[in-house]
Chain A
């Protein structure tokens, strides 16, 4: 933890802000137009994620529109990957017109590697003066955050800047299709103050742990919620940027939130949340989310950000909306007998052949689609050519891709830019095809691939032994399969990266797998316990050995055993049993198992005397005595040749006042549970010892009278 006290920096800037705070400040926003991961990888190699079209509009436009409609007047757009493309896009858009109510500043640098770097730069350049909104360039939302903003400001006024961040969440129950498993969080919060007490991503976790201290903050009502969808919209105070600077190891917002919560005591900062019930907000963090956000948008959940609203104000982008959520751009031609069933968006200048069935799909501008084509949940971007008799299910087809005759794309296929597929081919589920070779180095620049359609590109490829495989992409196909050349684990990873976790998981199989995982979990959770006990036993043995060799005081031995107890998470009862066992086995350990009973007792009894303080430390309550006795019994049941020694051991322990007579008597009368232990109790020596004990007791009681 790079936790440096940030008082100095805060005070320095604090003066400046307090002076300005009085006057009304324009609302600012920081938009991070980079995801800093490779979720969209083969696609985002050609186009940054923020510019990928969602409903034929670049994602960053949704984010900017959201910011503008909430009243943001100044936005800083931070770009890293392909920053030039984003810059070009923004300069052409309505956001950079002089009349735009939201002034957009574009800041590019190749050095940003994470959200943390961006915010550190925000701090270094001193860009924000007041509370600002932090979003990613792929957030689609129509939430009115002004309420959240007001609450945030109010809190900051009342609590003297303790609250540094307000995160915006949307209520949506688990299993909602717009919830992405990667982003599932569990949040513990104070229901009155809306303060976040605990924040944890639940992906891949079967067990959740809450630190106890979150429940001891003195508030009387807590909520632990799993029904929240993280909108990735946060209202931050300028301190957030400073905190990122101070803690150079914060990379993501997750780091930050957890850091703040863990160090709440030290820094005194708090995080709050705002839960909205109406309004829509989601981040397109993988293709699964892309699919569901796109369909939500077409189904008008994001109203007024609907396709026909043309909020980007671009010429010719307008389209009309008719029943069953069918949107048509200008100059769309539809062949005879073609049906647009429902939730279909078709961009301008697209022509569709005869007898096509299109449902739940988005088709970009300038596409041509042949006859008898079936499209279901397809996302086709611009300039795509689809020949006749093609079937596409739930797949993404990027700009310029060509799908030839009679090709079938099964679920979750991705055809990246300019790929050609077919004819007569069926791509299996989850196939990713790109013009970039999977093994191609980053340095291999896109330039040669831009000219792929030309012969030069081909010959070059062939010389490099990277010819397209006709079995994979069809006889006329162009492109490389991204999965085939990788081994299985990576393969899974890639599928995960693109589509997120399994879409529409079959509930039964899911529960089964969960169950099996749980059982695995259980077996795992048992085995380490045994390991712990064994290790503890060895450690105790070692400790005692050293104690003897180096003549260590018993108090220190106790101390050491106690610390071992905590290290291995051993209960007190187990400590006692193990200790007894170790001591009793000690002679065997040192001198081999072939000892005679006489030799054994001879070496053991002095040891008992030496370590009696250790025993006394652990054996205090009546139950402890019984436990100790049962441990002794257990050992002698195992070592049945030495059973006669047991009496002597018990005698010695009685004399050393480790064990009390009552406990021994009780053990003798009640402890027998099976034949063996009953046999043990019939041992003559033991009978005599007990007899003697009883008499001694009678005597003492008589004496007492």
Chain B
């Protein structure tokens, strides 16, 4: 039976993806960039849409939700996976609404009156069958994929608006987006970059190497020197792992230090974050917020006796509150932290926020 075959193949791919996620990130951050994770997730969801058995949008959403729950549970710290699941769910809703004939706009605007009168959950049950729904959804997901492909470029394109000649720019750790951003600016402008090494993983070293290869004047500093150096810095440009619903960040360890130092010296702090990093999560959901990896990098296992006497922790992320951030640069332009809620409601459907 080809159908059963396909399904087996599908589950196998999902399992492989889950296993990858679980093992992903042995200390030095994820093996692949979050952009890649986002693309892979979306591609996998497209496959699910194409190959799973479903007759109505409701069924499909149920399937996607189920898989989405498993994927997010596999690596809770990798929020892009969950974000992509939400995006796909939103796409299905939109396509269903379009097939039904009601325009997106009316659906989108939820007035207070409408909320009050709707009564319980949404009155739609997504049970109606539409022939073209599948094709439409897949097409919309393809569009999403193209959008994802272009995010880094879109962000990098805005670099010249923010980086001026002879500026001193500080960044922390390694972010693929920031790297592209700086390299793009370096094509036209000359500036100096100071990279905080971001111990214990020291991804900053890699970042500095890459930047200097692109003939950008680069200095690596220890994390302890961040505050001292900050007075000379014109602008801080950082990447992030997740943008939280309140406009705060979950970013690599040391970012909070940088942000506070920048605030003290009134240095603008710019965050390069593609839209797929926007997560409906709030920072108070502490269970999955932190990620602790093997303390090996902090105190090597070879140390011996001291290990039984001390507790060693190696957290990966910092929380940066929104008031420390000046500007977000995403693939659709620059936004203030206070505007994040609006973007969030555009990207995701409120009913999907918890899978």
B287 touches A142 (CB 8 A): no
Query: What separation, in Å, do the CA atoms of A142 and B301 have in the docked complex?
Result: 13
* Residue numbers in A under 8 Å from B303 (CB-CB): 173, 176
B305 touches A175 (CB 8 A): yes
A174 touches B304 (CB 8 A): yes
Number of A-B contacts (CB under 8 A): 92
Which of A73-91 touch B at CB < 8 Å? none
B19 touches A101 (CB 8 A): yes
B346 at the A/B interface (Cβ < 8 Å)? Answer: no
A177 at the A/B interface (Cβ < 8 Å)? Answer: yes
Size category of the binding interface on chain A: 35 or more
Query: What separation, in Å, do the CA atoms of A670 and B305 have in the docked complex?
Result: 59
A304 touches B25 (CB 8 A): yes
B311 touches A342 (CB 8 A): yes
B294 at the A/B interface (Cβ < 8 Å)? Answer: yes
| Contacts A99-B8, A280-B301, A322-B287; A177 near B311 (Cβ below 8 A) | no
A173 touches B304 (CB 8 A): yes
| Contacts A99-B8, A171-B302, A277-B300; A304 near B23 (Cβ below 8 A) | yes
In the complex, identify which listed stretch (B9-17, B117-125, B172-180, B253-261) lies at the interface while the others stay far away: B9-17
B19 touches A299 (CB 8 A): no
Query: What separation, in Å, do the CA atoms of A320 and B16 have in the docked complex?
Result: 24
A318 touches B292 (CB 8 A): no
Indicate which residue in B11, B311, B313 contacts A99 across the interface (CB closer than 8 Å). Answer: B11
B308 at the A/B interface (Cβ < 8 Å)? Answer: yes
B12 touches A99 (CB 8 A): yes
Query: What separation, in Å, do the CA atoms of A69 and B296 have in the docked complex?
Result: 19
B293 at the A/B interface (Cβ < 8 Å)? Answer: yes
A601 at the A/B interface (Cβ < 8 Å)? Answer: no
A3 at the A/B interface (Cβ < 8 Å)? Answer: no
Interface size in chain B (residues, C-beta < 8 A): 34
Which of B16-32 touch A at CB < 8 Å? 16, 19, 22-27
Query: What separation, in Å, do the CA atoms of A321 and B300 have in the docked complex?
Result: 23
B115 at the A/B interface (Cβ < 8 Å)? Answer: no
B73 at the A/B interface (Cβ < 8 Å)? Answer: yes
Query: What separation, in Å, do the CA atoms of A101 and B16 have in the docked complex?
Result: 7
- Tell me how far the C-beta of B16 lies from the nearest C-beta in chain A, rounded to whole angstroms: 6
Indicate which residue in B290, B305, B314 contacts A177 across the interface (CB closer than 8 Å). Answer: B305
Indicate which residue in A299, A304, A325 contacts B22 across the interface (CB closer than 8 Å). Answer: A304
* Residue numbers in A under 8 Å from B25 (CB-CB): 304
A278 at the A/B interface (Cβ < 8 Å)? Answer: yes
The 8 A-B residue pairs with the shortest CB-CB distance in the complex, in nearest-first order: A173-B304, A303-B294, A320-B287, A177-B308, A99-B15, A176-B304, A171-B302, A175-B305
- Interface residues, chain B, CB within 8 Å of chain A? 8, 11-12, 15-16, 19, 22-27, 73, 286-288, 290, 292-296, 300-305, 307-308, 311-314
- Interface residues, chain A, CB within 8 Å of chain B? 68-69, 98-101, 142, 144, 170-178, 227, 277-278, 280, 299-304, 309-311, 318, 320-325, 342-343
Q: A69-B23, A304-B23 are in contact. List 11 more A-B contacts (CB 8 A).
A: A98-B8, A99-B15, A173-B305, A176-B305, A278-B296, A300-B293, A310-B73, A320-B287, A322-B287, A323-B290, A343-B311
Could you show 27 A-B contacts with beta carbons less than 8 Å apart? A99-B11, A101-B15, A101-B19, A142-B294, A170-B301, A171-B302, A172-B302, A172-B304, A175-B305, A176-B302, A176-B303, A176-B305, A177-B307, A227-B302, A277-B302, A278-B27, A278-B301, A299-B311, A300-B314, A303-B26, A303-B27, A304-B22, A304-B25, A310-B73, A321-B290, A322-B286, A322-B287
